[in-house]
């Protein structure tokens, strides 16, 4: 749970520190890349706590195409609307035809 709180914290480490910590741990920036709308970026950085799993399986992406502040995250085909935000809508989402 501690790593989940760390990964999802709405903070930005200085790039120098992020690069150093990212050698071992999944930082907030690396985790945001995993939530990118770009498929090649969202299909990377799967590690929950340590980054060496992604390095081992060649799924590590150190930088996104966009800056950390402008990185589009989430799924393009499921916009963040009130209709899509209810718990029922979220639970039914995998069963909807796209």
pLDDT per residue over 2-51, tens digit each?
A: 888 888 888 889 999 999 999 999 999 999 999 999 989 999 999 889 99
Q: For the residues 90-97, what does the mean pLDDT come to?
A: 83
Q: Does residue 70 carry a pLDDT above 80?
A: yes
Q: Dihedral angle at the C-alpha atoms of 20, 74, 61, 68, nearest 10 degrees?
A: -50
Burial 49-60 (b: 16+ CB within 10 A, else e): eebeebeeeeeb
Q: For the residues 63-92, what does the mean pLDDT come to?
A: 85
Q: Does residue 79 carry a pLDDT above 80?
A: no
Q: Does residue 78 carry a pLDDT above 80?
A: no
């Amino acid at each position: 749970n501690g790593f989940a709180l760390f990964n999802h914290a709405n903070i930005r480490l200085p790039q120098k520190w992020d690069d150093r910590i990212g050698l071992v741990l999944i930082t907030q920036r690396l985790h945001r890349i995993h939530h990118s709308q770009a498929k090649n970026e969202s299909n990377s950085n799967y590690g929950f706590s340590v980054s060496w799993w992604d390095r081992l399986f060649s799924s590590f992406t150190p930088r996104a195409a966009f800056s950390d502040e402008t990185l589009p995250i989430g799924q393009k085909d499921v916009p963040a609307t009130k209709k899509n935000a209810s718990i029922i809508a979220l639970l039914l989402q995998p069963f909807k035809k796209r």
